[in-house]
């Protein structure tokens, strides 16, 4: 019987398959209906794979997710904090403009996380930036090029 | 709060598990699409509902959400009433502040939902439960 190590853990089935290596990036497809127990195993697997591949960036792909509420915000933040401890950084992609706008209006700021439009942009960024310096790459959701700071001010009450 | 707010004639959905949140959000989204809400307004509505529904599951265990179409003259809107019999909130104005959370969250759910909706009212009594009523108009 064939038994891949990654699939022996029950909670992991379906999680391991969402993690792929692409150059310096670790590509993580965030499941549409992310559940609490999945979050834990996903975080564990991501760290494991960062070590395995020496990844510099973790790209969280949200293209399957259409309702990105504070639960996902919390997930992104905890993932970013944890990934940072390994020396890598989190990038997010695949969020529709309307969803990003709504996240800002909701009041979600994600310090230390970069958002890009798609995989191409993520790759381009990882190729030009290489290993990031922890002190100089602070980027907030509100500072992204496609959301200027006035958009953010407007949403502040 | 607009006079049309309420639960009479509304669709009632029990909220107990994550899957129920998805159901409520789908229902609200298709209603909003039928009423020709813009894409942005649909997302705003759905995320506000999702926040309130998550709070029910997280802090009250279970509750119910009522959805219905309302009108202000010719202007259609969607009215949401979310109700639970959980522990209630002792200081509502504190709970409405950005960043306040007793559950280790970001504390954006309630203040965010209030910003995303056009009308928002919260009524909570300690030991009795919480009711959130909100409306999004398609102006
Ligand atoms: N239905 C409810 N019953 C009891 N307490 C509630 C309820 N909804 C919210 N609260 C209280 O209000 C606080 C603020 O809620 P809010 O949704 O703004 O933030 P959060 O749920 O803690 O974090 P986030 O929504 O950002 O994940 C909660 O931490 C909780 O103490
Ligand atoms: Mg909440």
Residues A32-42: pLDDT tens digits?
888 878 888 89
d(CA B87, CA A5): 44
DSSP element (H, E) containing B119: strand B119-125
Residues of chain B contacting A, Cβ within 8 Å = 18-19, 22, 25, 39-40, 42-44, 46-47, 50-51, 54, 98, 105-106, 108-109, 111-113, 115-116
Q: Is A151 exposed, middle or buried (0-12, 13-18, 19+ CB in 10 A)?
A: middle
What is residue A102's predicted lDDT score, i.e. its pLDDT? 86
ipTM: 0.82
A67, A74, A77 ranked by CB distance to B47: nearest: A67
pLDDT in tens, A2-55: 444 444 444 444 555 689 999 999 999 998 888 878 888 898 999 999 999 999
- Closest Cα to atom 20 of ligand 1: B107
d(CA A109, CA A146): 15
CA distance B54 to chain A (A): 8
Taken in order of first residue, the domains within chain A and their CATH numbers are: 15-151 (3.30.750.24)
Q: Compute the C-alpha angle A119/A125/A128, nearest 5°.
A: 140
Q: Mapping DSSP to helix (H, G, I), strand (E, B) and coil, where does residue A23 land?
A: coil
State both tokens at A84: 């940072």
Give this prediction's pTM.
Answer: 0.82
Q: Phi first, then psi: what are they for A40, rounded to 5°?
A: -60, -50
Q: Mapping DSSP to helix (H, G, I), strand (E, B) and coil, where does residue A110 land?
A: coil
Which residues in chain A (87-146) have CB-CB distances under 8 A to chain B?
96, 98-99, 101-103, 105-108
B46, B106, B108 ranked by CB distance to A67: nearest: B46
- For a pocket test of ligand 1, which of B57, B62, B89, B96 has the largest count of ligand atoms closer than 8 A to its C-beta? B89
Domain-wise residue ranges, chain B: 11-137
d(CA A136, CA A132): 8
Mean pLDDT, chain A, whole residue set: 75
pLDDT in tens, B32-70: 999 999 999 999 999 999 999 999 999 999 999 999 999
- For B11-137, CATH gives 3.30.565.10
B105–A70 CB contact, under 8 Å = yes
């Amino acid at each position: 019987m064939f038994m891949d190590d990654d699939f022996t853990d029950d909670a992991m089935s379906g999680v391991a398959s969402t993690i792929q290596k692409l150059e310096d990036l670790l590509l993580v497809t965030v499941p549409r209906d992310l559940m609490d127990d999945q979050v834990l195993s996903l975080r564990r697997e991501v760290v494991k794979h960062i070590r395995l591949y020496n990844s510099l960036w973790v790209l969280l792909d949200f293209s399957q997710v259409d309702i990105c509420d504070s639960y996902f915000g919390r997930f992104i933040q905890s993932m970013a904090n944890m990934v940072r401890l390994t020396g890598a950084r989190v990038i997010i992609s695949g969020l529709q403009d309307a969803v990003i706008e709504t996240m800002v209006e909701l009041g979600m700021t994600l310090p230390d996380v970069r958002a890009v439009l798609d995989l191409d942009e993520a790759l381009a960024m990882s190729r030009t930036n290489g290993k990031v310096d922890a002190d100089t790459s602070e980027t907030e959701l509100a500072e992204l090029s496609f959301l200027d700071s006035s958009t953010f001010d407007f949403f502040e009450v | 709060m607009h006079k049309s707010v309420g639960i009479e004639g509304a669709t009632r959905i029990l909220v107990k598990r994550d899957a129920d949140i998805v159901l409520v959000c789908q229902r609200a989204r298709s209603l909003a699409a039928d009423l020709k809400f813009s894409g942005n307004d649909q997302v705003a509505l759905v995320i506000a509902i999702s926040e309130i529904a998550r709070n029910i599951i997280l802090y009250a265990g279970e509750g119910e959400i009522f959805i219905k179409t309302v009108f202000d003259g010719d202007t259609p809107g969607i009215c949401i009433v979310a109700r639970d019999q959980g522990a209630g909130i002792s200081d509502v104005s504190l709970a409405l502040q950005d960043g306040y959370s007793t559950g280790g969250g970001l504390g954006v759910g309630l203040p965010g939902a209030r910003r995303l909706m056009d009308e928002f009212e919260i009524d909570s009594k300690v030991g009795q439960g919480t009711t959130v009523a909100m409306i999004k108009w398609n102006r």
